[in-house]
Amino acid sequence: MILSRILLIFSLLLLSFGGSAQTTDFAAIEKLQQQERRPLIVLIKTAWCKYCGGMKNSLTNNQEITTLIKSKFYLALLDAEDKKEILFAGRSFSYKPTGKNVDVHQLARELGSVNGQISYPTLCVLNAKNEIIYQHAGYLDPQSLIKILRLLAEGN
Amino acid sequence: MRVPFTLFILFAMAFSGFSQTIRVSGKVYSASGPLPFASVEFLNGPVGTATDSSGRFAIQLVAPGRYSVKASAVGFLPVVKQLTLSDSLPVVVDFLLMADQNSFSEVVITGTLKEVSRLESPVPVEVYSPAFFKKNPTPSIFDALQNVNGVRPQLNCNVCNTGDIHINGLEGPYTMILIDGMPIVSGLSSVYGLSGIPNALIERVEIVKGPASSLYGSEAVGGLINIITKKPQNAPVFSGDVFATSWQEVNTDIGLKLNAGKKATVLTGINYFKYGNRIDNNGDNFTDVTQQDRISIFQKWNLERAENRLFTVAGRYNYENRWGGDITWNESFRGGDQRYAESIYTKRWELLGNYQLPLKEKLLLAFSFNAHDQNSVYGNLVYLANQKIAFTQLTWDKTLKNHDLLAGTALRYTYYDDNTPATQSQNSLKNTPDNVYLPGIFLQDEIGLAQKHKILLGMRYDYNSVHGNIFTPRFAYKWSINDQNVLRLNAGTGFRVVSLFTEEHAALTGARDVVVTEALQPERSFNANLNYIKKVYFKNGGIVSADVSAWYTHFKNQILPDYLTDPAKIIYSNLDGFAVSRGLSANLDLALPNGLKIIAGGSLLDVFSKKNLALNPVKTRPLLTEKWTATWAVSYPINKLKLAIDYTGNIYGSMLLPRLGSTDPRSAASPVWSLQNIQFTFNGNKKYEVYAGVKNLLNWVPGRNEPFLIARSRDPFDKNVQFNASGNPIATTENPYALTFDPSFVYAPNQGIRGFLGFRMNFNK
């Protein structure tokens, strides 16, 4: 009885949301850069971090931001705890589960470390030569993201 | 990968037609270095620019005059400087920006393999970071947990203020407390050791409500609390935190990190807590709050090995001297019947480590050893106990296609000895300490079904050298409907061997006689738990995450203390019937772009047992169990003042209380009660922080509407009590309610409103 009521509430809650993203695979970046050189925005996130979810949502669903990204940037999402191997910038990065302290994907470590530490979310922007031109650790609300992306777009 | 990248944006180029320009240049930097892409604007001029990748900017201005220059960057507070420019001299101006405390990030840092990724697993795990506990600073983990929904630290004794942790309405012994995943806090220390775990050594606390038996052992019936200690790699070089309250409680935490050679990092933590103020606000001649003197020293070594393999070893020593009782007591009365006090000296040390075997497969060996030595007196009753627990566990982690396997074997050895009949052989009076071996094996398979479904199957087998075989199966299912909706279902069984003396404080204090009517059987239970998480992202950047859980636990046997049948006794027997704990809980976590954060939760609990099923079923609600509870933490930063405000609190519904029979004038049930706190934190810069506030704003104390909290506190040795032939007290003019001394009527801290002031510092280099 209680269970069925709970299930009803749940199913009502489910009838919401759904996002469309224009994200890129790391493996495809090289080809894209050959076609058109653009900065690459990487959002380093984990599945359990709710602020990461908020930023991902802004990057993929906020109209002003997606318009900016579509015209000036490439966007890639990087799950720091993903266990897949990633090919990027001619190198192979992997998740090396070799101890309790190295459970971060190598690529996330490369792109997301600020002062040797990773926190989530971290935004990292690379230029077309795959050099880090901007990093920000911590949550950015949509207004701040727009500000940053505009500056970066102008700078390019 | 970081290389110089030069970037100049010169809007001023538009003015290049003029011949005379003034060059203004400088750097924008933060505490951690130059700030790239910070914007620099002339508020009363037409130009603005941004810094390059090394934090530099340069700009050409046309006219001399006074200018206001503003440097700002996302995540930092802006700084405005006044400039007076004359003629054509170039001007250099630098800006130092402070980080905006209002920027959010999840403070889980590099590291923590299974510990964190388990959050993705089908088992719902709640993670609390030190930032959460700082909202209402407390000296130990025991007090800190009052801010977590569904978790209630329960004091069990008016006099010595020891307590245990209730999860979802289940008593403390059903809560398994782990340090770094190891059962270090069990038996004696679950009552006497919790206050000795300082908050400062915590990296985070993970809480699983509901059964967690396949991984951690069958005792985790109510839930488990896993305290993850700080990793040397992530700790600051030096940290200090000192606070004092207007009751003259003083808590000091110091953390220090050193590199021992190139391959080792050592983290040392020292905690000292002192409360030595004999306050008796309720005038019962007893201390309201137990006097405490406690030191804890923690050291953790992290050794670097080839291929990033893990090796950490940690040790902790804890010494505590606590006493409560007659306000005129001193140590010369200890153990005598002149003045009453409960005095406990605890010496405790722990050693724990994690070692990854140098193999290609991922095999991890965990080991721990702890010794707990306790010398306590309750009035003239002496209780000396000694407990040693050794634990070792080997786990093997293997991923095969969509199977994430975890297999392991564990062995726990418990030695327990005390000066009571509990460890005496029945026939002779020879002392026979308890020796219990608990070997076990477990296998867990997390199966990824398609993208959105995960199933976890777990099986654990333990062999208890006293009680025999214990099987605890476990099932969990997770459905990630999408990024924003997750549903989890968990089910499992529990098995627990009751250990009266180490778990039941009341069994010890001697105010009542303990009667065990039959051989106590292990408790058996099964449990199911449904959990749903929903996240909502608002357009303006606000984030809401809400979760709802429903749970049901059925006990086929439960050992419940019976305080009511005879006020002079606590009767223990097996349950002739069944017991149930069920309920609903909801949590809301809201973060708005203006910095407002709200974490709030509420639970509805229905806990009862049914006896005499065949004849005349009686439903009873256990003592000291609330029907509903809520907690909250509201935080708001005022960035201009570098101030953060935290308002925290909890509220509990009425609970039944342990009275001494029907003549006892004390209430049979508690009122609804609430503890509320407010805190202001001034953040000077990243290195220093000052915090102050008021605890227990409502000045709520449990004795407010009671004639007394402790029965016959002026005659603690029952010297003036007259007893009838059957041994029951009789009413006299001196003893109108026919009571005996009783300090077990307690359900909340007897400490009213108090202010606190604290200071934190942190050095990273």
DSSP calls for B33-47 = EE-TT-EEEETTSS-
Average pLDDT for residues B195-199, to the nearest whole number?
A: 77
Average pLDDT for residues B475-480, to the nearest whole number?
A: 90
Selected residues 44-103 of chain B with any CB under 8 Å from a CB in chain A? 50, 53, 74-75, 103
Helix, strand, coil percent content, chain A, rounded in steps of 5? 40, 20, 35
* Dihedral angle computed from the Cα positions of residues B684, A148, B637 and A54, in that order, rounded to the nearest 10 degrees: -130
B109·A110 Cβ contact <8 A? no
The alpha carbon of residue B684 and the mean position of all alpha carbons in its chain are separated, in whole angstroms, by: 28
A132·B2 Cβ contact <8 A? yes
Which of B113, B395, B400 is the best substitution to test chain A (most A C-beta atoms within 10 A)?
B113
- Distance to chain A for B6, nearest Cα, Å: 9
B527-540: pLDDT as tens digits: 899 999 898 888 88
Please name the residues in contact with B8: beta carbons below 8 A apart, sequence gap of 6 or more: B49, B52, B58
* Cβ-nearest to A151 among B39, B106, B109: B39
> Does residue B326 or residue B90 have the better pLDDT?
B326
* Cβ-nearest to B109 among A18, A119, A127: A119
Please name the residues in contact with B66: beta carbons below 8 A apart, sequence gap of 6 or more: B44, B82, B83, B84, B85
- B6 and chain A in contact, CB less than 8 A: no
- Distance to chain B for A35, nearest Cα, Å: 22
Please name the residues in contact with B187: beta carbons below 8 A apart, sequence gap of 6 or more: B372, B387, B389, B414, B416, B499, B502, B503
* Cβ-nearest to B120 among A47, A121, A133: A47
Give phi and psi for B263, each to the nearest 5.
-105, -5
pLDDT at site B691: 96
The answer, as to whether pTM is greater than 0.90, is: no
* Cβ-nearest to B543 among A13, A51, A103: A51
B272-282: pLDDT as tens digits: 999 999 999 99
pLDDT at site B88: 66
Identify the weakest region by mean pLDDT among B17-21, B687-691, B702-706.
Answer: B17-21
- Distance to chain B for A58, nearest Cα, Å: 7
Asked if the ipTM is above 0.90, the reply is no
- Distance to chain A for B200, nearest Cα, Å: 20
Taking a C-beta distance cutoff of 8 angstroms, is the pair B711, B664 a contact? yes
Q: In the predicted model, is pLDDT for residue B345 greater than 90?
A: yes
- B233 and chain A in contact, CB less than 8 A: yes
A98·B550 Cβ contact <8 A? no
pLDDT at site B664: 92
* Cβ-nearest to A142 among B107, B364, B539: B539
Residue of B nearest to A102 (CA): B111
Identify the weakest region by mean pLDDT among B186-195, B392-401, B621-630.
Answer: B186-195
Instruction: Identify the three-state secondary structure at position B716.
Output: coil
A6·B108 Cβ contact <8 A? no
Distance of alpha carbon B714 from alpha carbon B711, whole angstroms:
9
Average pLDDT value for chain B: 84
- Distance to chain B for A14, nearest Cα, Å: 7
CB atoms within 10 A of CB B373: 15
